[in-house]
């Protein structure tokens, strides 16, 4: 599903050149659950952004479903993301002006799915994630754990092949964090590929494989 070859990302300003990723060779097969760990500034989020087609590498190749997307322009990356990749962020990234229902519905609107079909899909997903009773609430009326459930519902609503999670339990207490990780494990067991960036060793143990990054390079890999 995912393969990178000599993937490199360099950030440049007038005075400074910073190598965030250095010749990364990385592969993820369909159905895997992979955790990426490492200290702050080691390149974890940069790698996730490139895998998620939010950014391009400076050099090297990135194959997504056997298509080399490393040089895609932004509009082609956007088209490739639709229906293929779901995102879960530490900060939830919900839209405050929209209800829970409307937040989860949004990806389906972008996919031009009919309103009647959207309603069925959203209600089924909200019930599955035990947040249906909050469908008319706004994000600021929810607890952190509830907001992350909504974010997961939004990420999975279009049944993407890949979910990218960036510190998904970072703003949650241990109880709600564990609930979120169990949800991710269930999704993975149903066939969804998951790549997760985390500092949390407990969370990483849910993965099949742990990849350690240091100074923009893969330091080692081990089975979770």
Residue whose pair of structure tokens reads 């979120």 in the numeric block: 180
In terms of Cβ atoms closer than 10 Å to its own Cβ (0-12, 13-18, 19+), residue 138 is middle
Give the contacts of 18 (CB within 8 A, at least 6 positions apart). Answer: 10, 11, 12
DSSP per-residue codes, 144-187 = HHHHHHHHHHHHHTT--SEEEEESTTTTS-HHHHHHHHHHHHHH
Distance of CA 69 to CAs 20, 49, 75, 76, 180, Å? Answer: 19, 13, 12, 9, 31
**Predicted local confidence at residue 224, as pLDDT:** 64
pLDDT in tens, the chain (224 residues): 999 999 999 999 888 899 999 999 999 999 999 999 999 889 999 999 999 999 999 999 999 999 999 999 999 999 999 889 999 988 889 999 999 999 999 999 989 999 999 999 999 999 988 899 999 999 999 999 999 999 999 999 998 999 999 999 988 899 989 999 999 999 999 999 999 999 999 999 999 999 999 999 998 787 76
In terms of Cβ atoms closer than 10 Å to its own Cβ (0-12, 13-18, 19+), residue 115 is exposed
Angle at 88 between CA 87 and CA 93, to 5 degrees: 100
**Predicted local confidence at residue 223, as pLDDT:** 78
**Predicted local confidence at residue 222, as pLDDT:** 77
Kind plus residue range of the DSSP H or E element containing 116: helix 115-128
- Measure CA 153 to chain center: 12
């Amino acid at each position: 599903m995912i393969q990178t070859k000599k993937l490199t990302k360099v950030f440049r300003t007038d005075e400074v050149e910073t190598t965030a990723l250095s010749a990364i060779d990385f592969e993820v097969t369909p159905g895997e659950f992979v955790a990426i760990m490492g200290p702050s500034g080691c390149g974890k989020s940069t790698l996730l952004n490139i895998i998620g087609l939010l950014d391009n590498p400076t050099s090297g190749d990135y194959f997504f479903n056997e298509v080399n997307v490393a040089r895609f322009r932004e509009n082609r990356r956007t088209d490739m993301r639709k229906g293929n990749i779901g995102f879960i962020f530490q900060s939830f990234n919900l839209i405050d002006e929209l209800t829970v229902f409307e937040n989860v519905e949004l990806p389906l609107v972008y996919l031009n799915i009919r309103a009647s079909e959207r309603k069925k899909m959203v209600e089924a997903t909200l019930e599955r994630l035990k947040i249906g009773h909050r469908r008319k609430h706004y994000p600021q009326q929810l607890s952190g754990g509830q907001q992350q459930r909504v974010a997961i519902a939004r990420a999975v609503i279009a049944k993407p092949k890949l979910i990218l999670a960036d510190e998904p339990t970072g703003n949650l207490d241990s109880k709600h964090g564990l609930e979120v990780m169990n949800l991710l494990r269930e999704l993975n067991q149903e066939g969804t590929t998951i790549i997760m960036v985390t500092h949390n060793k407990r969370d990483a143990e849910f993965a099949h494989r742990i990849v350690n990054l240091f100074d923009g390079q893969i330091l080692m890999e081990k089975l979770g």
